[in-house]
Structure 1
């Protein structure tokens, strides 16, 4: 049974991705900053008959917490097949380039970029033991420089300084990570779940959480011929999924 760690998986897209991977026969570690929230998520999944799941406390902004999570999971398994870096914050609104403070930028980057780096580096040894390791970094179409420079893009006027820039940096990290692992079985991609209605965006999204979870789970399960080092936003590139940076 393949094993997957999903950070920030006690609710929203992370929770739905966990559900779908469980339905596909994976063993899921629900990463949650608040372990009680993680256990509550596990109980919900258990009530649906999905039993191969447990909660792990992990705060991606805290190096000690990440190391503790690695030790805990390492006591349970020698191999991790999939890492989904899903934990993220939007930074609140408004996000003006002229008014947002450096401290605000630091808070958002600490979760959305540095948190991914912490978790990936901590678990890379377990991932390397998998015959088909997969890393999915949850990104956003809003990080695309190409789309945000196009006045005809649907969300052209939806500018924000913090969240999109953190995800653009995450995309670059994804490219470099995929390159570093290019001669291995790893598949590493940045995937946008779409503009999905969750409490992350005050339920203003136009898509369903099920759609978002499906998009993330798909790239967690890709085969050896699947892409790597790509930015995928199927909502905007339905034919190939690959989206301009």
Structure 2
């Protein structure tokens, strides 16, 4: 996929989404930068477009059905189809308030509303447009903490992380969701995969207080790879830079 390919990335005005937008635009795609704040999305599109790419901002809140439908309508009118959907928008939910035994249930609901239900809402709204593409690709941005294997393997550092009932379970749910969409959409030629970008130094991870050296651009490489899979590529999988990630 390159020239003429239409891609939509949610939560793309900064961090990993922005890096993915830059990478896909660099391949000649028209990239729609989804952002809750259209002005911030426009700033990102203008900055990234300085390198010559075709990037456009759309106001999109994955928890707001009206904005989702509006964007789907806009894409349909302008382009008639959608070739790549990257479900990147996500929230962490302030880990200190989601510990087992003391979790703020309203906060947990908000995390699932964005990280899981938001993906369903956006994907379902875009499916008619994706179905018009000759080779549609859906990439769900997950996390290594969504791997039950990693979180229960005594030899893996993730098994030693504090317990949280919002973000990790939401990403495990997203992984399961990926499998369900992949099963149903395979016959339409739509490939659906999840990825973990790894621990990148972005605003999303700033609160962790970790000395991270991996950049957002590093993390976006796997998004780019899955967004540009050939017809013989995998579907219903979970991947990082090194290949398949265990569930």
TM interval, short-chain normalised: over 0.9
Deviation at 1:181, TM superposition (A): 1.0
1:201 maps to which of 205, 209, 220: 205
1:160 maps to which of 155, 159, 164: 164
Q: TM-score, normalised by structure 2?
A: 0.94
2:176 maps to which of 172, 175, 186: 172
Deviations 1:33-52 (A, max 9, x none): 000000000110122222x1
2:233 maps to 1:226: yes
Deviations 1:6-47 (A, max 9, x none): 000000010010001111111100000000000000110122
2:23 maps to 1:16: no
Residue 110 of structure 2 is matched in structure 1 by 107
Asked whether the 8 Å contact 1:10–1:37 carries over to 2, the reply is yes
Deviation at 1:137, TM superposition (A): 0.3
Residue 98 of structure 1 is matched in structure 2 by 101
Deviation at 1:92, TM superposition (A): 0.8
Identify the structure with the greater helix proportion. 2
Residue 25 of structure 1 is matched in structure 2 by 28
Deviation at 1:97, TM superposition (A): 1.4
Asked whether the 8 Å contact 2:222–2:239 carries over to 1, the reply is no
Deviation at 1:139, TM superposition (A): 0.3
Mapped to 2, the partners of 1:169 and 1:206 lie a distance apart of: 28
Asked whether the 8 Å contact 1:42–1:53 carries over to 2, the reply is yes
Deviation at 1:77, TM superposition (A): 0.9
Mapped to 2, the partners of 1:93 and 1:172 lie a distance apart of: 22
How many pairs does the alignment contain? 239
For residue 186 of structure 2, give the secondary structure of its aligned residue in structure 1: coil
CA RMSD of aligned residues (A): 1.1
Mapped to 1, the partners of 2:75 and 2:231 lie a distance apart of: 26
Q: TM-score, normalised by structure 1?
A: 0.95
Residue 216 of structure 1 is matched in structure 2 by 223
Deviations 1:90-127 (A, max 9, x none): 00121201111221111000000000000000010000
